[in-house]
Structure formats: structure tokens, C-alpha cells
Amino acid sequence: MAFKCVSQKVAQAIDVELMSSSGGFSIDQLMELAGLSVAQAVQKSFDTKKNPNVLICVGPGNNGGDGLVAARHLYHFGFKPSLYYPKQPEKDLYQRLVVQCKNLNVPIYKELEQAGDNLVDKSDIILDALFGFSFQGEVRDPYKEIVGIFEKTSKPIVSVDIPSGWNVESGPTEHVKFQPQVLVSLTVPKQCVSHFKGKHHFVGGRFVPPSLAEKFKFDVPVYPGADQVVEMNL
């Protein structure tokens, strides 16, 4: 692999540093830029007119928050996003991101089955924003069902940061082996990326100071123009 990947522990340390008083970033800022880069990766990978319907599967933490931000930007890019958001935490940030989606009339569902239709069947693209680099262990309810669908569906999946349910370092597990078509690594690729066999791998998060990358021994990729994502060679 032509680029460096980091462990779960290093990914967590980078995140802490970015949001510390010496990094200066707020979670609102980082989530906005992360979600924007995810939306740009979708926009670069799919035709807005041919594949407008994006089902965003939103997890309970920050990976889900990135998905909520991506939903808003996808709407503005001309896609038709829907949210499957089974557990909606009371955290102010997530609630505000939901309000922003509601103001765009983005449908928000708590159940996968809606009036006899499965949300996945009605979508052209699935955005997997369930779990990110802090995930550990096994996928539990209510997320087990949707990850099970990821295993079987022929719809293209775009995973945010890591494919949800994979081990952050060792990749696919006994229970979760699905391969997204597109992977958007945020800030820096995690070690599990070496197991990714999809079509497009993007890196997003164009906010990393060179000094931070040096400290944690990874490379900041060269982004084109004013883009917030860069496609990596596989």
C-alpha cells in the first residue's frame, strides 16, 4: 500500500489531539468537514440523475453524525437522501443535525420496513454511517439487521471511515465480511483498509496540520484543487 494506515489507538489519539486546546477544532467543525467530504465522494462516484436515492444508515455516535451532515450536503448536490436512524441520541449536536435534515424534508425512518417496502430496495446507493474507528466487538441490535442486509444486497454501499462491523485493524470478521464499493477514510486510513476490495477509496478531512501528521507518522495526501476528498490508488 502506497500510504500509511493507523491503528485504532492512534486514530483515537489523533481525534483527541484535533479537539484538544492545542488542536483547536470543535466537533461541529470536524463533523461538518467529514460529512462534506463523504458527500463529495458519493458525488464523484455516482451519477446524481441516474442514482439519486441514497439511504443513509445512521449509527448512534459520531460516524452517524458524519452521515447526518453528508445527508444535508447530498440534498444540496441534487441527490434524494433518506435516513434510517433507529436510535436517535439526545445529544444536542445530533438533534440539531436532524433538524437541518428535517428542514430539507429529508425522510427519517426508525424502522427498515415502511408500509411493506424495504428502505434498501427503494434506494440506489446505501451510505453506511453506522460505526467508525472506535467500534469494538460485535454488531448488536438494532444494527444487526441492517448489517445483515449489507452482506446480501447488490446495491452499492459507501462506507464512512470503515465498513461497519469490521475490525478497525484486522478487517472482515466471522460475522461481517461485506465489501463496500466505496470507502471514505476520514483524516487517515485505518489498518483494515488493506482488506478493502471495492472500486474507490477516498481520503477526506482536509484539515490535518502537517505537524500533526508528522507526530503520528502518517502522510497528508495531495488533494486536487479545492476538493475535500482525494481518491487513492488501490
In the 8-state DSSP scheme, what is residue 233? P
Q: CB-based burial of residue 142 (10 Å sphere; 0-12 exposed, 13-18 middle, 19+ buried)?
A: middle
Compute the residue count for the chain: 234
Q: Which amino acid, one-letter code, is at 165?
A: G
Q: Which stretch binds a second copy (CB under 8 A): 81-89, 100-108, 141-149, 179-187?
A: 100-108
H-type helices in the chain, by residue range? Answer: 8-18, 27-45, 62-76, 92-102, 143-152, 210-215
Q: Output 115 or 226, the one with its CB closest to a second copy.
A: 226
Q: Is 63 among the annotated ligand-binding positions?
A: yes
Given 1, 16, 104, 234, the residue binding a second copy (CB under 8 A): 104
Q: Output 38 or 112, the one with its CB closest to a second copy.
A: 38
Given 80, 155, 199, 206, the residue binding a second copy (CB under 8 A): 206
Phi, psi of 232 (to 5 degrees): -95, 150
Phi, psi of 167 (to 5 degrees): -75, 135
Q: Output 25 or 216, the one with its CB closest to a second copy.
A: 25
Residues 7 to 26: which contact a second copy by CB under 8 A?
21-26
Q: Of 133, 135, 132, 164, nearest to 151 (Cα)?
A: 164
CA angle 159, 229, 137 (to 5 degrees): 30
Q: Output 21 or 136, the one with its CB closest to a second copy.
A: 21
Does position 207 interact with a second copy (CB under 8 A)? The reply is yes
Residues 162 to 201: which contact a second copy by CB under 8 A?
none
- Binding site for (6S)-NADPHX: which residues? 62-66, 132-138, 143, 161
* Binding residues vs a second copy (CB under 8 A): 21-26, 28-29, 32-33, 36, 39-40, 43-44, 72-73, 76-77, 93, 95-100, 103-104, 206-207, 209-212, 223, 225-228
